[in-house]
């Protein structure tokens, strides 16, 4: 196994070192990138890895990135949908192996992502990148569906929250495509909602609602995070009560030191 | 002109001697004595704004379909109560302003009552002859907590509905009688009878405000009858001699100004800072929930209690003696208020001081009381903060379970630590003053010797 | 015309700025001297207070205008800003007056007497003397105590109409019966084939009140390897589908969180149902046992069956009463 991995890496490195002179298809470019960023955990040809590997591999332009070996699921059949989601959110490459994937600053360019997506899609037949149409969705239906299926973890206006051992993220940076993808994947510990559970038109409504929730109706003023009583309590004490104590100190006397 | 009016009223009421006494009634002057007034003015704002809201609110849980200006709830099923509050928030002119002012006033009211209570505790103002005043004040605090809870639960939004379910769960957890009590109050198992909201409404707009008003009247009357306590900031202030500012002309503009300042701050908040945006939460259903649901701040200590207690129901055979929520949701507040109510008697027994007190202690002058108070506040505050451990995890990355275990230990250890530190600080401050006094005396003597 | 306008402006200005000079009055015969001491005027204080009052006036009028026009997009903010600022301006004016325009006397007086022993004695004696005609004192005390107590109890008794107090059976009742179909929120019946792994669904008894605590259940499908039920619950799943009460046994919130690891080697915990209020976590593969959080009782499980047309039906009632624990929750099973 190890020999195979090293062999693949050598070939990949050779291809990289050979430079842009070789006319490469996106899949081939993707495969080279895969060898740089993904193979340590996801294994050769996306086979996955359930047993931890101890060796560090990788050289060439990617050698400055911390190479970590870890366990990872197989990518065969996950399709362009999954690859596109994980790469565009920056969930992958994982910054720290073993922890919850988080939205991160992208280290891959758009062209690199497209190449990797093409490569992963080629590993086995899987779902394509979805094309949601939130403008066709009904926002009231979206709020209702979101409250039913999503608000328990993500909070009713998508501010994120806590579930045992994980942190469902806020959705303010999620694009329509990413929401559609996440719903169909169920990343980390999130449930997976198939088209049978949430149809494409229902998904359009949910996405429309989530987009609304990024800048919801704040007719009452400063929204203090849409989190409810915790920031309200902070304002009560640190703003209102403090101000009123200051007013009292202006009006009343202060004790003089003896 | 003034004389004509005064004469007219005195002839018809005979009240001139009383008014004269009132005009020249003395207020000892210290800024911390105004905290109770701030609470009083918040209460007045509550009553005024609450009256307005009550004219638009509907206490019915009958289900209706929403057809109104707020898009995301179009066509959704909700109670009439929730819809009426949506109506106040979106359609009634100035409705949202008054609703938000009312809610901010409730939060600020309980905050300032708490500050006032802390002042009373740490200066020993509750001592003889003012124990009754103190107990009335504590009772008002307890009632105010319930009143606030009922107030925001009347809206029937998702957040407060979850809170009501928890309140029912805590009621059920009371040993031996919990379920019976819960059945009685709710008219059956949760969510209860369809007139449960009418019951909450009558308590919130009539019975409890009346109770608070009566207790407040008695509280203020007692303060006036025994006169306000004072610090010994001047030599001429003693247990027998009071120095203060008369009601008129000195205190009146200050109190009026404070009242308008409190109202001003509350209306500014009510217009500029959003509170409880119920259109974003949606209506309540027993089978619905959202992440991050919390009670209003003054019940945060209870959610902390409920989250900290490890998983167990105390059973004897098949009889469930103490269900889990009892410890954090019922026993904890009973202990806290039990201690506060008992404290004047405990202190009397402990120090042997049964004298009459009109002079206040500075916190440093009573190191024992201050230490116990600081430890007690630490205890309650830690449980309170534990209730937001999930938010701390989200914002600062501190593992939730680890936090829980930290708090479970800290609530027992930290009060002693902070109490001891407080005691030390008091003693050191007192010693510092002694040193200062001696130094000044030595300087005076030296100056006199030179002269 | 212009002259009159000028006169108007001049008089308005005089009114605003000019002040009446208080001439020192000589004491009239028989008049007492001052009670409130005299204090020096403060030009700056007066102007400041008047300016604040003027500003407060303008803002208050502004509030009425904003309210009436009702055109601003930030209507609530504008109303709050104008009204709040108006109040603060007038408050500031009063405080300026308190500090600079009003004599703040510091008067000495006596605290009232501690007690009135003579009055106390008189009161006590009046009460004692009044009892001269009654010979059976203790009996009367007892009689009044009894009558008063009984009357109070009687007057309080109608409060029992608020709800059942002794009929605990309501806590055991749920709408579920053997053969009752599971439907979704809109009333559409659930098929077993609708239920997929790594997802969670809410179901209600067909025709029942959805808001009843005994109604809502949460459905999940587990793989064979994820099911490890005790023997008494082994027959409860239908084709790997399990159903549990959606109401948390801790304090009654709805359990609508489901954590289901995508990649178990990275997260060996089983799929779990979680409550958002205090994070009680339940394992659906083991009968709803508590794996984290404060709940003291496992989640009640509903036995399922699949009918001939593939619809999910209840095969009986829950294995335990639903909802938060109370004193009798383990004494009896749930009743239809």
The last residue of a domain, from among C60, C82, C102: C102
Q: Which of B330, B46, B95, B96 is nearest to B204 (CA)?
A: B46
Dist CA A171 CA C95 (whole Å): 48
Any domain includes C4: no
Cross-chain residue pair B390–A161, CB shorter than 8 Å: yes
Distances (CA, A) of A124 to A45, A192, B218: 10, 20, 80
For residue C99, is the peptide bond before it cis, meaning its omega torsion is within 30 degrees of 0?
A: no
DSSP state of C132: G
pLDDT of residue C266: 80
Between chain A and chain C, the number of residue pairs with CB atoms below 8 A apart is 81
Token couple for C279: 């994070």
Using a CB–CB cutoff of 8 Å, tell me whether B230 touches chain A.
no
**Which residues on adjacent β-strands are paired with residue C305?**
C313
CA distance A163 to A142: 23
User: Can you name the residues that pair with B260 across neighbouring β-strands?
Assistant: none
Instruction: Decide: B271 and C79 in contact? Cβ < 8 Å.
Output: yes
Query: Using a CB-CB distance cutoff of 8 angstroms, which residues of chain C are in contact with residue B325?
Result: 250-251, 294, 324-325
Q: Does A2 touch chain C (CB under 8 A)?
A: no
Cβ of B275 and A220 within 8 Å?
yes
CATH number at residue C285: 2.102.10.10
Do C67 and C170 belong to one domain?
A: no
Helix B300-308 and helix B332-351, axial crossing angle in degrees, nearest 10: 100
Q: Given this model, what pLDDT does residue C87 score?
A: 98
Q: C245 with C331, same domain?
A: yes
Cα gap B359→B240, rounded to integer Å? 9
Q: Which of C77, C95, C260 sits opposite A191 (nearest CB)?
A: C260
3-state secondary structure of A102: coil
pLDDT > 90 fraction of chain C, expressed in percent and rounded = 76
* Bridge partners for B283 per DSSP: B157
Partners of A218 on chain B (C-beta within 8 Å) are 274, 277
- Is residue C186 located within the same domain as residue C81? no
- Find all residues with CB under 8 Å of C128, minimum gap 6, and list them: none
C171 and C63 assigned to the same domain: no
Last residue of one domain, picked from the residues C87, C102, C117: C102
B 131-190 → C contacts, CB under 8 A: 162, 165-166, 168-170, 172-173, 175-180, 182-190
Contact between chains at B100 and C277 (C-beta distance less than 8 A): no
- Residues of A within 8 A of B269 (CB-CB) are 235, 239-240
List the helix and strand counts (H, then E) for chain B: 18, 6
**What would you report as the CA-atom Rg of chain C, rounded to the nearest whole angstrom?**
39
The ranges of chain B with pLDDT < 70 are none
Q: Does A153 touch chain C (CB under 8 A)?
A: yes
CATH homologous superfamily of B24-340: Cytochrome Bc1 Complex; Chain C (1.20.810.10)
Both tokens assigned to A156: 């009713």
Task: Using a CB–CB cutoff of 8 Å, tell me whether A88 touches chain B.
Answer: no
Cβ distance C95 to A251 less than 8 Å, yes or no, reads yes
A165 SS3 class: coil
Q: Enter the DSSP assignment of C217.
A: E
**What are the percentages of helix, strand and coil residues in chain C, rounded to 5?**
40, 15, 45
Other CB atoms within a 10 A radius of the CB of residue C33 amount to: 6
Does residue C1 have a pLDDT over 70? no
Q: Which member of A189, A191, A220 has the closest CB to residue C200?
A: A191
Query: CA-CA distance, C166 to C176, in Å (whole number)?
Result: 23
B131 interfacial to chain A (CB closer than 8 Å): no
Please give the mean pLDDT across all residues of chain A: 87
Using CB atoms, list chains with 3+ pairs below 8 Å to chain C: A, B
* DSSP assignment of C141-203: HHHHHHHHHHHHHHHHGGGGGGS-SS-GGGGTB-S--TTPBEE-TTSPBPBGGG--BT-EEEE
CA-based nearest distance A223→chain B, Å: 5
Of C200, C201, C263, the CB nearest to A73: C263
Residue B291: which of A168, A223, A251 has the nearest Cβ? A168
C128-185 per-position pLDDT tens digit:
999 889 999 999 999 999 999 999 999 999 998 988 888 889 999 999 999 999 999 9
CB-CB: which of A166, A186, A196 is closest to C198? A186
Distances B412 to B382, B419, B431, C150 between C-alpha atoms, Å: 10, 12, 30, 46
Runs of H (alpha helix) within A25-138 = 26-37, 39-42, 79-88, 110-122
Are C210 and C316 contained in the same domain? yes
- Cis bond before residue B270 (omega within 30° of 0): no
Q: CA torsion A214→A215→A217→A223, rounded to 10°? A: 90
Residue C284 lies in a domain: yes
Q: Name the residue in chain C with its Cα closest to that of A49.
A: C265
Between residues C159 and C336, the one the model is more confident about: C159
Same domain, C169 and C98: no
Q: What percent of chain A has pLDDT over 90?
A: 69
Chain segment C267-293, per-residue pLDDT in tens: 888 999 999 999 999 999 999 999 999
Chain C residues close to A50, C-beta within 8 Å = 265
Whether C322 and C213 have beta carbons less than 8 Å apart is answered as yes
CA–CA distance, A53 with C264 (Å, rounded to integer): 17
The number of distinct structural domains making up chain C is: 2
Chain A residue numbers with beta carbons less than 8 Å from the beta carbon of C76 are 219-221
The mean per-residue pLDDT over the stretch A119-124 comes to 94
C293-331 pLDDT, tens digit per residue, is: 999 999 999 999 999 999 999 999 999 999 999 999 999
Q: Quick one: tokens of A227?
A: 């989190």
Give the pLDDT score at B375. Answer: 97
- Encoded tokens for B310: 């490890």
- Would you tell me which residues 33-72 of chain A have a C-beta closer than 8 angstroms to some C-beta of chain B? none
Whether residue C227 contacts residue C206, with contact meaning beta carbons closer than 8 Å, is answered with no
CA–CA min distance B188, chain A (Å): 27
**pLDDT tens column, C95-113:** 999 999 998 888 999 999 9
C183 touches chain B (CB under 8 A): no
**C-beta of residue B314 within 8 angstroms of C-beta of residue B340:** no
Which residue's structure tokens are 């530190």? B421
Q: Of C289, C313, C296, C282, which Cα lies nearest the Cα of C229? A: C289
Contacts of C249 (CB under 8 A, 6+ apart): C280, C295, C296, C297, C298, C299, C300, C322, C323, C324, C325
CB contact, 8 Å: C258 with chain A? yes
pLDDT tens for C72-92 read: 889 999 999 999 999 999 999
Strand partners, C136: none
Going by C-alpha positions, the residue among B448, B388, B368 that lies closest to residue B122 is B368
Q: Which residues are registered as beta bridge partners of C259?
A: C272
d(CA B181, CA B195): 17
pLDDT of residue A60: 47
Q: Which residues of C touch A101 (CB under 8 A)?
A: none
Cβ distance of B277 and A162 shorter than 8 Å = no
With a cut of 60, say whether residue C17 has pLDDT above it: no
DSSP C310: S
Map tokens 């116990």 to a residue: B372
Please judge whether C267 and A190 are an interchain contact, meaning their C-beta atoms are less than 8 angstroms apart: no
Distance from CA of C132 to the nearest CA of A (A): 56
- Residues A69 and A93: their CA atoms lie apart, in Å, by 12
Cβ within 8 Å, pair A252-B437? no
C242's CB contacts (< 8 A; 6+ apart) are: C219, C220, C221, C222, C227, C236, C284, C285, C301, C304
**Taking CB atoms and an 8 Å limit, are C76 and B24 in contact across chains?**
no
The DSSP line for B239-268 is SSEEEEEEIIIIIHHHHHHHHHHHHHHHHH
Q: C interface mutation test: which of A189, A221, A247 has the most C CBs within 10 A? A: A189
pLDDT at C231 over 70: yes
Using an 8 Å CB-CB cutoff, list chain C residues near A192.
196-199, 260, 262
Helix then strand then coil, % of chain B, to nearest 5: 70, 5, 25
C178 and C91 assigned to the same domain: no
C244 domain residue, yes or no: yes
Interface predicted TM-score (ipTM) of this complex, two decimals = 0.93
CB C91 within 8 A of CB B261: yes
Domain span at C206: 164-336
pLDDT digits (tens, 9 = 90+) for A40-92: 889 888 888 887 654 444 444 444 444 456 788 999 999 999 999 999 999 99
A 224-243 → B contacts, CB under 8 A: 224, 226-230, 232-233, 235-237, 239-241, 243
Interchain CB distance below 8 Å, C276 and A152: yes
- Which pair of structure tokens corresponds to residue C85? 């600022």
Among the partner residues B76, B290, B296, nearest to A155 by beta-carbon distance: B290
Identify whether the C-beta of residue A91 lies closer than 8 Å to the C-beta of residue A104.
yes
Closest residue to B280, CB basis, from A157, A221, A233 = A157
Are A224 and B274 a contacting pair at CB < 8 A? Answer: yes
Give the phi and the psi of residue B284 in degrees, each rounded to 5: -90, 140
Q: Is there a contact between B297 and A162 if contact means CB atoms under 8 Å apart?
A: no
Cβ contact (<8 Å) for B268 and C84? yes
Q: Which residues of chain A make contact with C274, given a CB cutoff of 8 A? A: 152, 163-164
CA C222 to centroid of chain Cα atoms: 39
Q: Give C185's contacts in chain A (Cβ within 8 Å).
A: 148
Please, what is the angle between helix A242-251 and helix B35-54, to 10°? 130
Q: Specify the pLDDT at position C335.
A: 84
3-state class percentages of chain A: helix first, strand second, coil last, to nearest 5: 50, 0, 45
Q: Write out pLDDT tens, residues C28-57.
A: 666 678 888 888 988 999 999 999 999 999
Query: Closest by alpha carbon to B387, among B307, B280, B276?
Result: B307
Give the whole-angstrom CA distance, residue A166 versus residue A179.
Answer: 18
The burial class, CB within 10 Å (0-12 / 13-18 / 19+), for B127 is buried
Query: If contacts are CB pairs under 8 Å, which of residues 92-151 in chain C contact chain A?
Result: 95, 98
> Which residues make Cβ contacts (< 8 Å) with residue C147, sequence separation at least 6?
none
B238 against A255, higher pLDDT: B238
Distances (CA, A) of B143 to A54, B48, B121, B318, C71: 63, 19, 19, 36, 41
Contact between B294 and B288 under an 8 Å Cβ cutoff? The reply is no
């Amino acid at each position: 196994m190890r020999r195979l991995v090293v062999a693949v890496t050598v070939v990949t490195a050779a291809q990289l070192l050979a430079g842009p002179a070789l006319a490469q298809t996106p899949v081939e470019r993707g495969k080279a990138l895969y060898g740089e960023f993904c193979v340590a955990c996801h294994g050769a040809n996306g086979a996955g890895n359930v047993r931890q590997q101890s060796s560090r591999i990788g050289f060439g332009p990617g050698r400055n990135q911390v190479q970590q070996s870890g366990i990872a699921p197989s990518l065969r059949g996950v399709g362009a949908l999954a690859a596109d989601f994980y790469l565009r959110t920056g969930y992958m490459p994982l910054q720290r192996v073993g922890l919850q994937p988080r939205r991160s600053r992208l280290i891959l360019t758009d062209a690199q992502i497209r190449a990797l997506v093409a490569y992963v899609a080629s590993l086995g037949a899987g779902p394509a990148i979805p094309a949601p149409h939130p403008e066709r969705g009904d926002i009231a239906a979206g709020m209702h569906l979101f409250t039913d299926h999503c608000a328990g973890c993500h909070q009713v206006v998508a501010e994120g929250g806590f579930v045992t051992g994980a942190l469902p993220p806020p959705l303010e940076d999620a694009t329509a495509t990413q929401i559609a993808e996440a719903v169909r994947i169920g990343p980390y510990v999130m449930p997976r909602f198939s088209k049978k559970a949430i149809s494409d038109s229902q998904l359009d409504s949910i996405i429309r609602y989530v987009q609304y929730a990024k800048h919801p109706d704040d007719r009452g003023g400063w929204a203090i995070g849409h989190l409810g009583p915790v920031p309200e309590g902070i304002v009560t004490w640190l703003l209102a009560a403090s101000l009123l104590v200051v007013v009292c100190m202006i009006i009343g006397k202060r004790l003089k030191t003896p | 002109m003034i004389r004509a009016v005064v004469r007219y009223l005195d002839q018809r009421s005979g009240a001139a001697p009383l008014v004269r006494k009132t005009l020249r009634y003395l207020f000892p002057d210290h800024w911390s004595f105004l905290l109770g007034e701030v609470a009083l003015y918040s209460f007045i704002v509550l009553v005024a704004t609450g009256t307005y809201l009550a004219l638009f609110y509907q206490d019915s849980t009958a289900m209706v379909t929403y057809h109104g200006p707020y898009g995301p709830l179009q066509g959704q099923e909700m109670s009439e109560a929730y819809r009426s509050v949506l109506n106040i928030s979106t359609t009634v002119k100035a409705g949202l302003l008054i609703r938000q002012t009312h809610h901010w006033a409730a939060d600020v009211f309980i905050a300032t009552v708490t500050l006032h209570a802390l002042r009373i505790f740490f200066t020993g103002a509750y001592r003889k002859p003012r124990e009754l005043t103190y107990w009335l004040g504590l009772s008002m605090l307890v009632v105010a907590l319930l009143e606030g809870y009922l107030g925001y639960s009347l809206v029937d939004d998702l957040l407060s509905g979850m809170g009501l379910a928890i309140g029912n769960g805590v009621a059920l957890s009371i040993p031996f009688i919990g379920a019976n009590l819960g059945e009685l109050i709710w008219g059956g198992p949760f969510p209860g009878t369809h007139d449960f909201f009418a019951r909450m409404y009558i308590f919130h707009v009539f019975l409890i405000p009346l109770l608070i008003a009566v207790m407040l009247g008695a509280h203020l009357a007692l303060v006036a009858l025994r006169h306000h306590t004072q610090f010994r900031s001047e030599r001429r202030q003693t247990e027998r001699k009071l120095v203060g500012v008369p009601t008129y002309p000195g205190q009146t503009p200050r109190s009026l100004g404070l009242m308008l300042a409190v109202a001003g701050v509350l209306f500014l908040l009510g217009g500029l800072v959003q509170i409880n945006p119920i259109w974003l939460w949606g209506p309540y259903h027993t089978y619905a929930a959202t992440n991050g649901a919390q009670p209003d701040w003054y019940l945060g200590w209870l959610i902390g209690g409920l989250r900290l207690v490890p998983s167990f129901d105390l059973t004897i055979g098949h009889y469930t003696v103490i269900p889990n929520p009892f410890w954090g949701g019922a026993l904890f507040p009973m202990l806290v208020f039990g201690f506060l109510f008992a404290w004047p008697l405990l202190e009397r027994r402990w120090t042997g001081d049964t004298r009459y007190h009109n002079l206040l202690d500075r916190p440093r002058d009573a190191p024992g009381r201050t230490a116990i108070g600081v430890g007690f506040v630490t205890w309650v505050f830690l449980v309170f903060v534990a209730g937001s451990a999930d938010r701390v995890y989200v914002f600062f990355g501190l593992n939730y379970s680890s936090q829980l275990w930290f708090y479970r230990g800290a609530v027992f250890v930290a009060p002693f630590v902070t109490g001891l530190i407080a005691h030390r600080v008091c003693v050191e401050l007192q010693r510092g003053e002694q040193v200062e006094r001696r130094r000044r005396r030595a300087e005076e003597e030296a100056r006199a010797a030179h002269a | 015309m212009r002259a009159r306008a000028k006169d108007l402006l001049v008089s308005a200005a005089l009114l605003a700025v000019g002040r009446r000079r208080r001439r020192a009055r000589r004491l009239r015969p028989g008049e007492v001297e001052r009670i409130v001491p005299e204090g020096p005027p403060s030009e700056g204080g007066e102007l400041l207070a008047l300016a604040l009052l003027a500003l407060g006036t303008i803002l208050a009028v502004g509030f009425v205008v904003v309210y009436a026009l009702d055109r601003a997009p930030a209507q609530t903010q504008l109303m709050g800003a104008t009204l709040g600022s108006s109040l603060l301006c007038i408050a500031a004016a009063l405080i300026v007056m308190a500090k600079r325009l009003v004599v703040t006397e510091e008067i000495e007086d006596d605290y009232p007497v501690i007690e009135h022993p003579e009055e106390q004695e008189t009161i006590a004696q009046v009460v004692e003397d009044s009892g001269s005609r009654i010979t059976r004192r203790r009996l009367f005390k007892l009689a009044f105590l009894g009558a008063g107590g009984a009357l109070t109890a009687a007057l309080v008794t109608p409060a029992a109409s608020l709800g059942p107090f002794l009929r605990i059976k309501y806590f055991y009742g749920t709408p579920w019966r053997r053969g009752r179909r599971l439907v979704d929120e809109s009333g559409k019946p659930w098929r077993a084939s609708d239920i997929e792994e790594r997802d969670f669904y809410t179901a209600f008894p067909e025709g029942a009140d959805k808001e009843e605590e005994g109604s809502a259940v949460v459905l999940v499908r587990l793989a064979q390897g994820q099911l490890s039920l005790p023997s008494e619950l082994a027959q409860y799943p239908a084709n790997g589908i399990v159903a549990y009460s959606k109401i948390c046994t801790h304090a009654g919130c709805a359990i609508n969180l489901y954590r289901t690891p995508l990649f178990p080697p990275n997260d060996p915990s089983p799929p779990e149902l979680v409550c958002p209020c205090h994070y009680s976590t339940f394992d659906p593969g083991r009968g709803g046992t508590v794996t984290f959080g404060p709940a003291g009782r496992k989640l009640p499980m509903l036995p399922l069956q699949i009918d001939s047309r593939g619809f999910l039906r209840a095969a009986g009632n829950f294995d335990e009463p639903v909802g938060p624990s109370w004193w009798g929750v383990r004494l009896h099973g749930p009743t239809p």
